Amino acid sequence: MSIDLRAVRRAFGSYRGAPVGARAFVAARYVVAPMGPIAAEFEGLTGTVLSLGSGLSMLERYVAELEPNLRFEGVDLDPVKVELIARTHHLSPRVSLRQGDATQLDGLTGGRLYDAVLVCDAMHHFPADVHADVVRSVAEVVRPGGVVIIKDLDRGPAWKYHWNRIHDRIVAGPEPIHCRPPAEMASLMEKHGMEVERADRIDGPLTPYAHYVIRARKPA
């Protein structure tokens, strides 16, 4: 799917009134993130998507512009992002964000089932030894027949890994990152009962980020 620039413009407009730094960050993210391939995974989906580590929710606000039957409920650790999304919520009312630890989902969802779960560029910020637990709880909170989409960054080639490492140091701070190759992530999802429909690199040879996407479905 190619990028719908009018939808990007509308989504970007939903940050009206946000601090200049946050708007610049969102604009940069719209340039760098593989919006087209990720949005394609949501084509025709309906219902509510739980989005873990959704941060400033730029992807969610973009997809919400394209898919009128989807709403996104995000969870993020960062109270500043939660406040910003709350303040601009009226400009993108089908995208919300609350504060919480996505690695401790069990107490967060209150037994509710979601139509889909998205984890976009957050998994590598979670410690490697909780990845299996996060995948297990994601598999539990998605309804039978629902989909889980994980967009993350591969560990290789080395130059892309180091590029992303530097990026994350500047943007997120000195904490280590924990990139897990797509085949490993896919096998974690299978181990927890999901049927993996795709697990593909979606970067070009010269794209400096080792983007990949996995789509898996919980058996109906």
Ligand X SMILES: C[S@@+](CC[C@H](N)C(=O)[O-])C[C@H]1O[C@@H](n2cnc3c(N)ncnc32)[C@H](O)[C@@H]1O
Instruction: State yes or no: residue 131 binds ligand X (CB under 6 A).
Output: no
The contacts of residue 28 (CB under 8 Å, 6+ apart) are none
Could you tell me the sign of the dihedral formed by the alpha carbons of 61, 63, 66, 71, in that order? negative
| Binding flags for ligand X, 27-66, as an x/- string (CB under 6 A) | --x-----------------------xxx--xx-------
76 touching ligand X, by CB under 6 A: yes
In the complex with ligand X, the residue whose CB is nearer, 87 or 195, is: 87
Q: How far is the CB of 220 from ligand X (least distance, A)?
A: 28
Of the pair 38, 194, the CB lying nearest ligand X is at: 38
Report which DSSP code applies to 207. Answer: -
State which of positions 165-194 bind ligand X (CB under 6 A). Answer: none
Among 14, 88, 92, 103, which residue interacts with ligand X (rule: CB under 6 A)? 103
Q: Is 147 in the site for ligand X (CB under 6 A)?
A: no
Residues 6+ apart with CB under 8 A from 219: 144, 145, 193, 195
Alpha helix segments (H runs only) across the chain: 5-13, 20-32, 35-40, 58-66, 79-87, 131-141, 158-171, 182-191
CB of 132 to ligand X, least distance (A): 15
Question: Please, which residue, 126 or 209, has the CB nearer to ligand X?
Answer: 126
Assess 77 for contact with ligand X (CB under 6 A): yes
Tell me the β-bridge partners of 28.
none
Rounded Cα distance, 92 and 165, in Å: 31
Residues engaged in binding ligand X (CB under 6 A): 29, 53-55, 58-59, 75-78, 81, 101-103, 120-122, 125-126
